[in-house]
Structure 1
Amino acid sequence: MFHGGLLAKLRGFYKWYVLGLVSVGYIVGELGHYLIGTTSKVTAEDLHYGDKSCLFNATHLTLSQLPVVCEKVNSTELCESLTLNGTRYCEWGYNGLGIDYQVLAGPAFMAVFTVVGVILGVVADKYNRARILSVCTLVFVIAILMMGTVTEYWHLVLLRMVMAAGESGCNPLATGILTDLFPEHQRALVLSIFNWGIYGGYGIAFPVGRYIPDLNAWGLSWRLCYYSAGVVGLVVAVLTFLTLREPERTTIGEEGAGNNKAGDASLEAGKKMPQVTIWHIIAQPRVLLLCLAASIRHCGGMCFAYNADLYYRDYFPDVDLGWWLFAVTVGIGSVGVVVGGVVSDKFVSKMGVRSRVLVLALSQLIATLPAFGSVVFGPLWAMITLAFSYFFAEMWFGIVFAILVEIVPVSVRSTTVGVFLFVMNNVGGNLPILVDPVSKAIGYREAIMIFYAGFYGISSILFFLTMFVMDGPVEQPAASENKPNGLDNKAYSHDETRHRIQDARL
């Protein structure tokens, strides 16, 4: 009895273990993804790619003490002639920016990430998701490790493409697994925690990319960042292969309630009717508008992610903001993710999926103005406004996918997530490449304001419009309506249990 009770308790914790495991794996993948942004300057110096400019290199001085600011000088000779009290304080070198960097950070990764993501989404709807996720994790982990060995720019481009292929399976595969493991009243919170891996990896990249290269341990400089992330990733890959199991696929949301308006299959004579195609699902106005809004919001996030460290280094070279950026993105972002999930889950049973979209629209609207402040103000107020903006801005990702999995049928759930990510990442992940030409035309700060804070505001408007094409609360059928007539009652038992859970919460 004791043995059985202990096993039952352990099984109860299994789903939380799975959440933790896939979340850590996602954090490692995103750390490898975003390290290029925080190590780009030292990596460019080593591999010789991107633009050159006049750089401030005297850590004992502040910008207010300089007779001429290094960043305003555009020639090698003048840059190297600038002195203060007989000491040269500028150097001409690679700044980590330029079209080479923007291609490396965005299109080189996204081109593969989006295409392979769709393919893996289709495969996930037919085969064992746990095994596929294990292989994907191993692929991107090996790519991260090998990035530490590169000697040419094109090596880095190629390995980022391989890493993208592996990481592209994480979201559609893990989203499907977690959706089947957790009930509706926890779904947005769980998916928010998982998708926080993006911001966790991105936030950790700030101290890792800023401080580890300076240590130059064993002469490895920036390469140690990738080796360290890869070793942690190997442990996660092994645990994923050994302990992750494929859960039973379940119907949820509108499909589980028998809502045929969404085009989902219904139950008849104990059997499911033929499922609609993926093309029917993605052609729905609500899915298209949700995808457009998410793509614009994703562009704002990617623009900041790829340029934040370089921007603050460029405008405040005498102020070390590495730990500030880590605290804001990981600390404040974590709270925002949890609050967004909890608020969304709190109202969804009463207001339907529209409540989730409303949370999206309001959160991004509130985040817009302080996002502008994080670019306009000096170091202190930039970090304060960034923290306020980040709290509300980071509510969005998990809620978007909670909405998506609740309005599509189980038969094409992972495929839909893959297609959704394909569009969202192609638009949101590639548009930031325009930062380079726009910054050369009107200024780096102004370009960041447009593609970062400006796109937050546009996304809030689009999310608000999306709310009007979503269905209202799903009416739960009475028990008598679900009663089977001498047929297999598995579907009925599943629905009945889910309704009892909801009734207990109400």
Structure 2
Amino acid sequence: MDPEEREDEEQRRLEFELAKPKEGNFLKRRFFRLLQRNPESGKSNLNAFISLLVLFLVYVLNQADRLVLAVVLPDGMRCDSNKTQDCNVVNQTTSNSSSSSSACSPGDCIDVSETGQGLLTGPAFTVVYVLAGIPLAWFSDKKSRLAVLVIGITFWSLMVLLTGFVKNFWELLLARIGLGLGEATCNPVAYSLISDLFLPENRATALSAYSFGIYLGGATGYAFGALNQAVCWRWLFRSLGIVGFLMVFVVLLIIRDPGQQKDDTVKTIKPQKSDYTLKETAWHLVTCPPYLLLLLAGSVRNLPGYAIGGWLATFYKRDLDQDSEVYGRNVAIIVAIGGICGAAIGGFLSDRLGKKRPEAKAYVIAVSQILAAPTIIGTLLASNAHVSYFLLFTAYITAETWVGVAAAIVQDVCMPAIRSQASAVYIAVITIVGGFGPLVISSLLESSNDTLFGKCNKGVRNALVIIAPTFYVSSALLFIVVGFALKRQQAVMREEERTYLANATDENDELTEKEKSISLDSSGGNTHF
């Protein structure tokens, strides 16, 4: 750096120090830091913030595209979605009848069984999404990340558009598999771009802001489903597909790949060996009890989440006789506000309590899931829809505290050099297991127990009320075990540290004695000479 450039950099730093707010609320200070000028490049982070906003919108679209199917299936897309749930009514419509609740023309529906719905909203998407995400993440690191993202958005938008033209279950299944393949490009590329667009001290804030797209995207999916009363479900998918194509142009116009940025913070925290083989990484993970327990606890907790996501709209349609316009609007608000509040509360409590006791993070999750169990039971058993919606809101606030906290525990228990790989394995495992949640519900509905799970006997309600709270409480117990494992790991680490320091002190003392002996010998020899 020549003297003139050094002077400019010092001037930029001085301007930043003088301009930043010394006082003010926390959000104001964090927002200012997020927009601060990058001292290395001299460029304002306003460009990075705009890029983050675009990536956030992409993520919202990503979540909406995957969720809208579960919203419209029970209200017009399935041919039997208008069947009455009153067992005393004799003249039920046949499975090929049209749904009067849909704006489509008569007979414009898809024959989908209970198992088919569970497959479409679960494994057909999640398994492909996870398996494709691993090689796509590797490819995006080797090639142009922006190109991978653009191709991914284009492909999954095409799949959403084609969903609006399907004629049978198998075409819908293929479109759903294609959706999983395309959407698998989103998170790996977005995480990588955000990490390079923002300074190290701002990355956590930027990534947290991006992750809120989960809840706003889910809310958008429910909101689109609410339009099913006025617009045929086919046009909902077609519209989302067109929005996706427009998003491609926005990405190309605004986002610029900054390239792989130099990160000095990584060098200071990594151990001497920073490049582990696959075998070494696998060995570190399988010999870390807190990590293995976290995989189990996260998988158990994720299964009811996917089950509720895949069947909640069907529950409100069948069991509480709520049309998509009503439950779509209400659940959209609940998911957006309740989900974001729950995630924020979980992060705040775990950070405050986990400063001195890392195991407290796991206990925060455990307590939240125990509190969530009765609220989700009330949501499902309430005979009044308004009461059910209120309890669902409280359930979201309590139940959704776990996602970010569990991800933070992964970072806590793994060495810096393998954290990315550990996170990738964790996400893959809990997503694959969780993706079978909707299929578990459909399996119960297809069982021979018509008294408990029959369509005329609140089958969806009974299936969800068995699965969701049971797995909530089970995961809470497992997270308590994770807490104990974290506490034990901390104790072992402290003991190893004490042993290491004691040995180092002994070695230094021995070395000092040897140096003194050599010095005395040398001194004595010189005197004798």
**Cα pair distance change 1:15/1:352, threshold 3 Å:** farther
More displaced 10-residue stretch of structure 1: 374-383 or 305-314: 374-383
Q: Which amino acid aligns with 2:229?
A: D
Residue 291 of structure 2 corresponds to residue 324 of structure 1? no
Q: Which of residues 350, 365, 368 is equivalent to 1:363?
A: 368
Q: Which amino acid aligns with 1:342?
A: F
- Aligned residue for 1:351, secondary structure, equals coil
What is the CA–CA distance in structure 1 between the aligned matches of 2:419 and 2:373, rounded to whole Å? 31
Structure of greater relative contact order (alpha carbons < 8 Å, 6+ residues apart): 1
- Aligned residue for 2:179, secondary structure, equals helix
How far does the alpha carbon of each residue in 1:443-478 deviate from its partner, in whole angstroms, 9 at most, with x for none?
222210122232222222222221233355999x9x
Contact 1:336 1:395 in 2 (8 A): yes
Q: What do you get for the CA RMSD once the two structures are aligned?
A: 3.8
What is the CA–CA distance in structure 2 between the aligned matches of 1:21 and 1:342, rounded to whole Å? 26
Contact 1:121 1:414 in 2 (8 A): no
Give unpaired runs (5+ residues) of structure 1.
57-69, 82-87, 259-264, 478-506
Q: Which amino acid aligns with 1:275?
A: Y
TM-score when normalising by structure 2: 0.71
Contact 1:192 1:341 in 2 (8 A): no
Contact 1:294 1:459 in 2 (8 A): yes
The residue that corresponds to 1:481 in the other structure is: none
What is the CA–CA distance in structure 2 between the aligned matches of 1:18 and 1:367, rounded to whole Å? 36
Contact 1:55 1:95 in 2 (8 A): no
Q: Which of residues 356, 359, 362 is equivalent to 1:354?
A: 359
The residue that corresponds to 1:429 in the other structure is: 435
Deviation, structure 1 residue 421? 2.4
Q: Which of residues 214, 223, 226 is equivalent to 1:210?
A: 226
Q: Which of residues 165, 171, 175 is equivalent to 1:155?
A: 171
**Cα pair distance change 1:411/1:117, threshold 3 Å:** farther
The residue that corresponds to 1:403 in the other structure is: 409
Contact 2:75 2:317 in 1 (8 A): no
**Cα pair distance change 1:133/1:360, threshold 3 Å:** farther
**Cα pair distance change 1:73/1:247, threshold 3 Å:** farther
Deviation, structure 1 residue 116? 0.8
What is the CA–CA distance in structure 1 between the aligned matches of 2:117 and 2:293, rounded to whole Å? 31
The residue that corresponds to 2:394 in the other structure is: 388
How far does the alpha carbon of each residue in 1:283-327 deviate from its partner, in whole angstroms, 9 at most, with x for none?
232222212211111111111111111101101115733322111
Deviation, structure 1 residue 339? 2.6
Aligned residue pairs total: 432
What is the CA–CA distance in structure 1 between the aligned matches of 2:66 and 2:373, rounded to whole Å? 25
Give unpaired runs (5+ residues) of structure 2.
1-7, 16-34, 95-99, 454-458, 498-529
Contact 1:35 1:205 in 2 (8 A): yes
Q: Which of residues 54, 63, 76 is equivalent to 1:21?
A: 54
More displaced 10-residue stretch of structure 1: 464-473 or 98-107: 464-473
The residue that corresponds to 1:502 in the other structure is: none
Q: Which of residues 68, 75, 87 is equivalent to 1:72?
A: 87
More displaced 10-residue stretch of structure 1: 9-18 or 196-205: 9-18
Higher Rg: 2
Deviation, structure 1 residue 177? 4.3
Contact 1:193 1:398 in 2 (8 A): no
What is the CA–CA distance in structure 2 between the aligned matches of 1:159 and 1:395, rounded to whole Å? 32
Deviation, structure 1 residue 97? 5.5
What is the CA–CA distance in structure 2 between the aligned matches of 1:175 and 1:302, rounded to whole Å? 23
Residue 249 of structure 2 corresponds to residue 238 of structure 1? yes
**Cα pair distance change 1:42/1:328, threshold 3 Å:** closer
TM-score when normalising by structure 1: 0.74
The residue that corresponds to 2:215 in the other structure is: 199
The residue that corresponds to 2:296 in the other structure is: 292
What is the CA–CA distance in structure 2 between the aligned matches of 1:362 and 1:188, rounded to whole Å? 25
The residue that corresponds to 1:496 in the other structure is: none
The residue that corresponds to 2:20 in the other structure is: none
More displaced 10-residue stretch of structure 1: 21-30 or 11-20: 11-20
Residue 382 of structure 2 corresponds to residue 377 of structure 1? yes
